[in-house]
Amino acid sequence: MSAETLASVNEALFDRTRGLKTPPALMALSVTAAVLLAVAAWMVFFYAPLEKEMGFVQKIFYFHVPSAWIMLLSAPLMAFGSVAYLIKRQDKYDHLSDAGVELAILFGALVLITGPLWGRKAWGVYWVWDVRLTSTLVMVLTLVACKIVRGYAGPNAKQIAAGLALLAVLNATFVYFSVDLWKGTHPPKLIQTLEPQMKQTFWLSVLAFHLAWGAMLWARLRMGKLRSALDRLHMQATEAGLDD
């Protein structure tokens, strides 16, 4: 191999590594989110009063509802990423779709863990086939399948994952909106009925969760971008004969 190609690959490598430092804004966002999450957790246990019917179990609500909101926030994100990827075939949309899928799985899992703990106390059983429970479960299950496919399907896994993410969102929406007949046992929106101290705790928790979500999304998108850059670099290096 000529010294010239080696030099050009070297230069490309140097160019890429300059982008590796964590952006200060991402750092700041992550730290703020972490601090607020800690404060929110403290407020949940020591500041917000005990609810008179449900008692201590009601405190799950401060984590359950923000998680559910964020899961719903991730859905349009991955739907957009998937549609854009299927049309334009650019990796950045695939990263967006993948990040959305992972965040929806993470927060969906939180919803599905905290929900039954609350349900055991309120309904006497962990699980009922209620509309919201079903639509959440359907979405999380499909998205997990989507991640599995992405990992094992081979060459056109990205397309398949995008299609599946889209179907998952569509399916959850279908279940959620069309089933007015389905007898819902899930509690209705009760934020208006909260005590002031409960409200403060709740909204701080919502804020903290959203910031954490933003930081994770950012970090995940950055990771995708860096990974693509690394793949390209690897290809360049192989082409230049640097495969050892």
* Chain residues that interact with another protein, rule: CB under 8 A: 86-87, 129, 134, 137-138, 141-142, 144-146, 148-149, 152-157, 159-160, 163-164, 166-168, 170-171, 174-175, 178-179, 181
Structure tokens at 101: 């899928």
Report the alpha-carbon distance of residue 131 to residue 168 in Å, rounded. Answer: 15
- Return the C-alpha torsion angle 64, 65, 71, 75, nearest 10: 150
- Return the number of the residue (43 or 168) whose C-beta is nearest another protein: 168
Sequence-ordered alpha helix ranges (H) in the chain: 3-17, 24-42, 61-88, 91-122, 131-152, 157-178, 196-239
Closest approach of another protein to the CB of residue 61, in Å: 26
- Return the number of the residue (65 or 101) whose C-beta is nearest another protein: 101
- Return the number of the residue (85 or 202) whose C-beta is nearest another protein: 85
- In the block, tokens 């075939």 appear at 89
- Return the number of the residue (162 or 237) whose C-beta is nearest another protein: 162
Closest approach of another protein to the CB of residue 188, in Å: 21
Strand, helix or coil at 55? strand
- Return the number of the residue (6 or 141) whose C-beta is nearest another protein: 141
Closest approach of another protein to the CB of residue 155, in Å: 7
List 55's β-bridge partners, or say none: 51
- In the block, tokens 């055991």 appear at 120
